[in-house]
């Protein structure tokens, strides 16, 4: 389980290697994404609080990067943080997320990105629920949910 200390270490000393890399030109990303998805994932934008479609959705499944479809978070670790963005306590795999120290807007935060394609996802904070104490605050536009299929067989 990742802790705040692990996150700080990654943001300062380097991130774990991803399973694979996906690289595209800016034009290829623009062709693949909606204008809002491009603004958020490729230009480090943020959606307005409580505006994202995934904010109040708690369907069972995996949340994947909208750019490269890498699995990022599982619905079992999603929680209602009251912040207006989908929130999670852990990534699906330790190397799914890349961490970067962010000093924009006069604040010290840790930006989280897809470790496969460098898409901006949001930020992580040390004020989440136990046991990790982490709150990954993620833009809905940077993810899609891949719903789990329910089997008819018993």
Instruction: Point out the annotated binding site.
Output: 65, 68, 114, 117
Q: Cβ(112)–Cβ(127) under 8 Å?
A: no
Q: Which of 54, 66, 121, 137 is catalytic?
A: 137
Q: Specify the length of the chain in residues.
A: 154
**Residue 137 bears catalytic tag:** yes
Tokens found for residue 82: 């009251």
Distance from C-alpha of 88 to C-alpha of 127, rounded to nearest angstrom: 11
Give bridge partners of residue 97 from the DSSP assignment: 114
Known binding positions for Zn(2+):
65, 68, 114, 117
DSSP E strands in the chain: the ranges are 61-65, 71-74, 78-79, 87-88, 97-102, 109-114, 120-125, 135-138, 143-147
Q: Which of 103, 96, 80, 95 lies closest to 143 in space, CA to CA? A: 96
- Annotated catalytic residues are 137
């Amino acid at each position: 389980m990742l802790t705040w200390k692990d996150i700080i270490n990654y943001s300062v000393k380097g991130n774990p290697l991803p399973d694979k890399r996906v690289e595209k030109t800016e034009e290829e990303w623009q062709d693949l994404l909606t204008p809002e998805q491009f603004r958020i994932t490729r230009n480090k934008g943020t959606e307005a609080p409580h505006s994202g479609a995934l904010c109040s959705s708690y369907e069972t499944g995996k949340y994947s990067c909208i750019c490269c479809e890498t699995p990022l978070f599982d619905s079992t670790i999603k929680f209602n943080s009251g912040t207006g963005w989908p929130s999670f306590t852990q990534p699906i795999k330790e190397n799914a997320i890349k961490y970067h120290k962010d000093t924009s807007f006069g604040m010290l935060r840790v930006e989280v990105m897809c470790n496969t394609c460098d898409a901006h996802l949001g930020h992580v904070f040390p004020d989440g629920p136990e046991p990790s104490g982490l709150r990954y605050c993620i833009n809905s536009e940077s993810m899609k949910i891949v719903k789990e299929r329910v089997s008819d067989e018993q």
